Amino acid sequence: MTTVRALVKRAADELADAGVASPRHDAEELLAHVLGLTRGALVGVDEVSEEHRRRFVELVERRAARVPLQHLTGRAPFRYLELAVGPGVFVPRPETEVVAGYAIDALRAMGGTPVAVDLCAGSGAIALAIATEVPNARVYAVELDPDACAWAERNLAGSSVTLVREDAAVALPELDGTVDVVVSNPPYIPMDAYDSVEPEVRDHDPAAALWSGSDGLDAVRMVERTARRLLRPGGLVVVEHADVQGESAPAVFASAGWWLTVRDHPDLAGRPRFVTARRSPRRLAS
């Protein structure tokens, strides 16, 4: 038998040496996963069996090789949810919870049966959070990639979300001019930023969910055009972007000529994170 404290200490040291950003947290999460416990419940465990130790050591080795923690545990927390994730789908990040929260707050304030569309839905995280926290909303999740769709189907099973496997650029024409909120976490990394992206993202998240042209804004421009088509006058668009796009992403909307009150917003760390705008009933004067 091996003590929990010794196992976690050795694993955290190994992960730190490998450049993992949160070594102790990840070590504890992996051990809790092996034991079938929550991380908080580890305080009540003194020793683990040899079989559990071997499984834990194997997972730590994979994590040290920069396989994402969420791929090893098969789950990712998102607001009040726990999502199934793995190879083939973008792992939702904590900063996107703020983006979803803004859309949720806006929908709650509307009353009735507001309509929301999540473009580039990936795992279905944003759409499912909206449907869970705003149960009166009618929610659509749009995703084209077949692997991501398979994960979204799994996560959205039993929910009220309508999953649409379609190109976001042309999706849901039957809803044109009727949607209250369009929200999206599109790909937004410039191609020339490849070497600066952490291995967990660069080597394991699907390329289609990451890269977006030379300036990282190709998908944001697509979302602007689709949101312009889908939203009713006064409808809200909420779009995540990279922290270095706090001026360039809002400029996509400001320059299009169809948007009022274009504003950028920070994440919980104070970094520029998402842009919002209201659909004008008519094209603005240039």
Domain containing 184 — which CATH number?
3.40.50.150
d(CA 72, CA 282): 49
CB 6 within 8 A of CB 57: no
Query: Has residue 284 been placed in a domain?
Result: no
257 and 168 inside one domain = yes
pLDDT in tens, 187-215: 988 877 666 778 888 878 887 887 788 89
Query: Has residue 178 been placed in a domain?
Result: yes
- The pLDDT value recorded for residue 111 is 87
d(CA 96, CA 125): 9
Residue 9: domain span: 2-65
Tell me if 187 is assigned to a ligand binding site.
yes
Tokens representing 210 are 């990451």
124 and 44 inside one domain = no
Tokens representing 107 are 């929908």
pLDDT in tens, 90-111: 999 999 999 999 999 999 999 8
pLDDT in tens, 44-84: 888 889 999 999 999 999 999 999 999 999 999 999 999 99
Query: Has residue 123 been placed in a domain?
Result: yes
Tokens representing 97 are 């919870």
- The pLDDT value recorded for residue 102 is 98
Query: Has residue 115 been placed in a domain?
Result: yes
- The pLDDT value recorded for residue 199 is 84
How long is the chain? 286
Using CA atoms, how far residue 57 sits from 13, 21, 86, in Å, is: 13, 19, 20
The tally of domains found in the chain comes to: 2
- The pLDDT value recorded for residue 11 is 96
183 and 226 inside one domain = yes
Query: Has residue 19 been placed in a domain?
Result: yes
Query: Has residue 234 been placed in a domain?
Result: yes
- The pLDDT value recorded for residue 203 is 78
Query: Has residue 285 been placed in a domain?
Result: no
Tell me if 186 is assigned to a ligand binding site.
yes
- The pLDDT value recorded for residue 45 is 85
Which CATH number characterizes residue 42's domain?
1.10.8
Which residue type, as a one-letter code, is found at position 71?
A: H
161 and 219 inside one domain = yes
Q: What is the average pLDDT across 129-143? A: 98
CB 60 within 8 A of CB 17: no
Transcribe 119-167 into DSSP letters: ES-TTTHHHHHHHHH-TTSEEEEE---HHHHHHHHHHHTTSS-EEE-S-
The kind and range of the H/E element at 34 are helix 23-35
Long-range contacts of 201-208, Cβ-Cβ distance < 8 Å, separation of 24 or more: 203/66, 204/66, 204/67, 204/68, 204/71, 204/87, 204/91, 205/68, 205/90, 205/91, 206/88, 206/89, 206/90, 206/145, 206/147, 206/148, 208/145
d(CA 27, CA 33): 10
224 and 108 inside one domain = yes
Q: Among residues 44, 65, 86, which one ends one of the domains?
A: 65
d(CA 165, CA 180): 21
266 and 171 inside one domain = yes
CA 263 to chain CA centroid, Å, is: 21
Residue entry with tokens 């001026």 = 247
23 and 83 inside one domain = no
pLDDT level of residue 247 (50, 70, 90 thresholds): very high
Tell me if 136 is assigned to a ligand binding site.
no
39 and 151 inside one domain = no
Half-sphere exposure of 49 (CA within 13 A, CB side): 5
Nearest to 176 by CA among 228, 122, 124: 228
> How many angstroms separate the first and last alpha carbons of the chain?
73
102 and 192 inside one domain = yes
Query: Has residue 70 been placed in a domain?
Result: no
212 and 115 inside one domain = yes
As a whole number, the mean pLDDT across the chain is: 94
55 and 132 inside one domain = no
13 and 79 inside one domain = no
pLDDT in tens, 10-55: 999 999 999 999 999 999 999 999 999 989 899 888 888 999 999 9
Tell me if 143 is assigned to a ligand binding site.
yes
